[in-house]
């Protein structure tokens, strides 16, 4: 009785489209976001192919060639121990991406779990978890990270753990707020009216609908985490020598900033560029995935 | 007479607020027989939706609170049933469809996935069989090209299509009772008629009883056999649809019927019942409708009338006018 209406409602090409595919399609139209994605892919490739790209061993010292200016031999110059900065930056990409991605994954895993539990079950569990987040957020992020690293001992792995802990409430609060609003959605009531268990509703209906904001915040969070890792490295609390961590390279060279500016400029540029890439991509993702942006 | 499928007796559902308990449903009696379509009519806030959510036990507690009465489904008391038992009943024996077809489907799952999920929660069947049944179900609710629609996402469908999908999900486990909470309110008039026809057809074919919650007497006239009129948390009149339309006995029902726009009469202004629905709990004494009633007498404001039948035992109303008439007769 309503066949004409049905044909109008579903154009033939609509069959291949899913909400995620639609998001990718509009993401691709966002030029800045695609530039961000390009930068990220570039750094990922650099990290993967580091041994092929690096002309020198990043640990190799050559005291004769100390503080050489950029040249055909050393593209980015050499540092105070005569190490090739270009090679160190290439290997440093591995460290920064690893710290950024894995610490954010850690924050997402624990933050999402806590946020979902708090938002869905509410009452005293919510009060407990929310106060925990409040306490964590009461400290300036970097100060808390310093405190945690100081307690655990300075190392790259502990810096990573500290950064993950600092960012847990960011994701926790995000997910909790999203769950609180999703809980009122009619399709959640509908799912309950169909006799579904809480665990199924959480995993099948609530969690997938939280993913958009989590991905957006996660991408932006990687940028923050890279900066925090560099800051901890700069303070000597992150990567330890001779690891070529960008923040550590900055602090090691800061006394030569006037005599050999290239020792500071290139690590700084690398940090800036990766962070910019993740930020651009995060903003683009927000435009297509964040429900608040959709009108 | 057939036994009742659903029997609500003296149901009290309250909301606990900072200002105390507010009775949203205040002593409702309502029963539905197997295969029957019963309309529950009233203005917003009269407690009709709360009644339906109470039957499903879907009211969040707090602030909701079942303060008394009983809800029996096939003789089984639901108010004290365990949550585990309720989960077996929901979707399988009693299903529900909602007002907004735009928001009552999960945007990230295909239509087929949502039907299959419900099937597999309640029935011991595999993926393949569930998929086949999902397509069957979509055909049953009048969706052409069900094989391709089953793979589409809710945002690709029109409102009427989504409501059909909702109906398919609600009926896929062949429940004995379907609670439809304003299922056509958000739809275009032409689509409304199609959806009502569909529900009527499915009711005939499957014998699923329908509790049709609506504020639209037109919908009631279209598909219901019996109607229950609610006002401020209480049933004020109930009876067969034809009796109520021909001979409404409660002034509120009369007002509702007079407010239906009519093409035949030449009236410059549409009638509307003066005043507003009282806030729940605002009137504790006498008839709730008395402040808006043109026939209000002293006794109306002092004492609440009982829901009583007149000459026709199935047609009951809660009004002093009718009791005094009976006495006078």
CATH of the domain at A166: 1.10.3720.10
Could B143 and A6 be called an inter-chain contact, meaning their C-beta atoms sit closer than 8 Å? yes
Could B87 and A189 be called an inter-chain contact, meaning their C-beta atoms sit closer than 8 Å? no
- Which residues in A lie closer than 8 A to residue B109 (C-beta atoms)? 204-205, 208
**Is some CB atom of chain B closer than 8 A to the CB atom of A16?**
no
In a domain, A172, yes or no: yes
CA distances from B223 to B143, B192, B195, B240, B269 (A): 21, 12, 11, 12, 28
Kindly report the nearest CA distance between residue B156 and chain A, in angstroms. Answer: 6
Number of other CB atoms surrounding residue A130 within 10 Å: 18
In a domain, A188, yes or no: yes
Q: CA-CA distance, B217 to B237, in Å (whole number)?
A: 14
Tell me if ipTM is over 0.85: no
Tokens of A138: 């009461």
N-term to C-term CA, chain B: 29
In a domain, A2, yes or no: no
What's chain A's Rg over C-alpha atoms? 23
**Predicted pLDDT of residue B219:** 87
Tokens of B315: 């047609």
3-class SS shares of chain B: helix, strand, coil, % to 5? 35, 25, 40
In a domain, A141, yes or no: yes
Tell me the sheet residues that pair with B39: B212, B227
- Work out how many domains chain A is built from and give that number: 1
Tell me the sheet residues that pair with B228: B40, B238
In a domain, A295, yes or no: no
In the block, residue with structure tokens 């990718």: A24
**Is some CB atom of chain A closer than 8 A to the CB atom of B149?**
yes
**Predicted pLDDT of residue A14:** 47
- Which residues in B lie closer than 8 A to residue A189 (C-beta atoms)? 58, 98, 104
Q: Which helix (H) or strand (E) holds B214?
A: strand B209-214
Tokens of B182: 């304003």
Burial of A108 (0-12, 13-18, 19+ CB in 10 A): buried
Rounded (5°) CA angle B312-B313-B318 = 95
The residue among B91, B94, B116 with the most chain A CBs within 10 A of its CB, best to mutate, is: B91
In a domain, A13, yes or no: no
In a domain, A15, yes or no: no
Tokens of B102: 């735009």
Q: CA nearest A14 in B: which residue?
A: B156
**At residue A210, what are phi and psi to the nearest 5 degrees?**
-90, -15
**Predicted pLDDT of residue B19:** 80
**Is some CB atom of chain B closer than 8 A to the CB atom of A138?**
no
Residue among A14, A19, A200 whose CB faces B108 most closely: A19
pLDDT in tens, A206-255: 998 898 889 999 999 999 999 999 899 999 898 888 889 998 898 888 88
A67 and A224 Cβ atoms separated by less than 8 Å = no
Domain limits at A235?
Answer: 26-289
**Predicted pLDDT of residue A295:** 38
Kindly report the nearest CA distance between residue B308 and chain A, in angstroms. Answer: 34
Bridging pattern class, strands B76-77 and B64-73 = antiparallel
Number of other CB atoms surrounding residue A142 within 10 Å: 16
**Is some CB atom of chain B closer than 8 A to the CB atom of A199?**
no
Query: pTM, whole model, 2 decimals?
Result: 0.79
Kindly report the nearest CA distance between residue B191 and chain A, in angstroms. Answer: 9
In a domain, A199, yes or no: yes
Q: CA nearest B85 in A: which residue?
A: A195
DSSP sequence for B33-86: ETT-EEEEE--TTSSHHHHHHHHHT-S-TTTEEEEEEEEEETTEE-TT--HHHH
Between positions 28 and 87 of A, the ones with CB within 8 A of B are none
**Is some CB atom of chain B closer than 8 A to the CB atom of A8?**
yes
Could A10 and B143 be called an inter-chain contact, meaning their C-beta atoms sit closer than 8 Å? no
Could B161 and A5 be called an inter-chain contact, meaning their C-beta atoms sit closer than 8 Å? yes
Between positions 176 and 235 of B, the ones with CB within 8 A of A are 191, 194, 197
The residue among A1, A3, A4, A6 with the most chain B CBs within 10 A of its CB, best to mutate, is: A6
> Which residue stretches of chain B have pLDDT < 50?
326-329
Q: CA-CA distance, A157 to A212, in Å (whole number)?
A: 29
Residue among B88, B121, B145 whose CB faces A6 most closely: B145
Least Cα distance to B234 among B300, B315, B288 occurs for B288
Residues 6+ apart with CB under 8 A from B230: B28, B40, B41, B42, B46, B47, B48, B51, B236
**Is some CB atom of chain B closer than 8 A to the CB atom of A190?**
yes
**Predicted pLDDT of residue A274:** 94
Tokens of A246: 């960008």
Count of A–B CB contacts within 8 Å?
Answer: 108
In the block, residue with structure tokens 């297509």: A288
Cis bond upstream, residue A224 (ω within 30): no
> Which residue stretches of chain A have pLDDT < 50?
1-15, 293-295
**Predicted pLDDT of residue B144:** 86
The residue among A18, A193, A200 with the most chain B CBs within 10 A of its CB, best to mutate, is: A193
């Amino acid at each position: 009785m309503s066949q004409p209406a049905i044909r109008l409602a579903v154009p033939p090409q609509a069959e291949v489209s899913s909400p995620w595919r639609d998001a990718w399609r509009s993401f691709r139209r966002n030029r800045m976001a695609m530039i961000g994605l390009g930068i990220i892919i570039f750094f990922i490739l650099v990290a993967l192919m580091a041994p092929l790209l690096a002309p020198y061993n990043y640990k190799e010292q050559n005291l004769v060639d100390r503080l050489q200016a950029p040249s055909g031999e050393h593209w980015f110059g050499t540092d105070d121990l005569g190490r090739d900065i270009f090679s160190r930056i290439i290997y440093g990409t591995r460290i920064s991406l690893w710290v950024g991605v894995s610490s954010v994954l850690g924050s997402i895993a624990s933050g999402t779990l806590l946020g979902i539990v708090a938002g869905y079950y509410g009452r005293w569990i919510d009060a407990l978890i929310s106060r925990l987040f409040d306490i964590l957020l009461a400290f300036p992020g970097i100060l808390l990270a310093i405190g945690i690293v100081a307690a655990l001992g300075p190392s790259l792995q502990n810096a990573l753990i500290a950064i993950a802990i600092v960012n847990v409430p960011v994701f926790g609060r995000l997910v909790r707020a999203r769950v609180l609003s999703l809980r009122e959605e009619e399709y959640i009531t509908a799912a309950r009216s169909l006799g579904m268990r809480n665990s199924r509703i959480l995993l099948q209906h609530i969690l997938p609908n939280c993913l958009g904001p989590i991905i957006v915040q996660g991408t932006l969070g990687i940028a923050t985490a890279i900066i925090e890792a560099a800051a901890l490295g700069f303070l000597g609390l992150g990567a330890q020598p001779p690891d070529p961590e960008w923040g550590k390279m900055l602090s090691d060279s800061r006394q030569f900033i006037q005599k050999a500016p290239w020792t500071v400029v290139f690590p700084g540029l690398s940090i800036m560029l990766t962070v910019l890439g993740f930020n651009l991509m995060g903003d683009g993702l927000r435009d297509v995935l964040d429900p608040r942006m959709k009108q | 007479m057939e036994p009742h499928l659903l029997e609500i007796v003296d149901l009290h559902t309250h909301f606990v607020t900072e200002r105390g308990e507010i009775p949203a449903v205040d002593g409702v009696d309502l029963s539905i027989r197997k295969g029957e379509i019963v309309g529950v009519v009233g203005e917003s806030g009269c407690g009709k939706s709360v009644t339906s959510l109470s039957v499903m036990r879907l009211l969040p507690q707090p602030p909701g609170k079942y303060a008394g009465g009983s809800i029996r489904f096939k003789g089984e008391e639901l108010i004290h049933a365990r949550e585990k038992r309720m989960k077996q009943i929901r979707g399988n024996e009693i299903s529900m469809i909602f007002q907004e077809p735009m928001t009552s489907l999960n945007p990230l799952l295909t239509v087929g996935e949502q039907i299959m999920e419900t099937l597999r929660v309640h029935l011991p069947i595999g993926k393949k069989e569930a998929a086949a049944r999902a397509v069957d179900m979509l055909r049953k609710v009048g969706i052409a090209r069900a094989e391709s629609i089953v793979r589409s996402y809710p945002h690709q469908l029109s409102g009427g299509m989504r409501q059909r999908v909702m109906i398919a999900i609600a009926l896929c486990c062949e429940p004995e009772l379907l609670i439809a909470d304003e299922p056509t309110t958000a739809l275009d008039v032409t689509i409304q008629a199609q959806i009502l026809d569909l529900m009527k057809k499915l009711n005939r074919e499957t014998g699923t009883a329908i509790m049709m919650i609506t504020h639209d007497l037109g919908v009631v006239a279209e598909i219901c056999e019996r109607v229950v009129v609610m006002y401020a948390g209480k049933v004020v009149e109930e009876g067969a649809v034809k009796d109520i339309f021909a001979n409404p006995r409660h002034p509120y029902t009369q007002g509702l019927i007079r407010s239906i726009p009519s093409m035949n009469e030449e009236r410059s202004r549409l009638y509307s019942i003066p005043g507003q629905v009282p806030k729940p709990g605002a009137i504790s004494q006498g008839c709730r409708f008395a402040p808006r009633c043109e026939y209000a007498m002293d006794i109306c404001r002092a004492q609440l009338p009982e829901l009583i039948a007149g000459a026709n035992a199935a047609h009951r109303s809660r009004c002093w006018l009718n009791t005094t008439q009976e006495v006078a007769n």
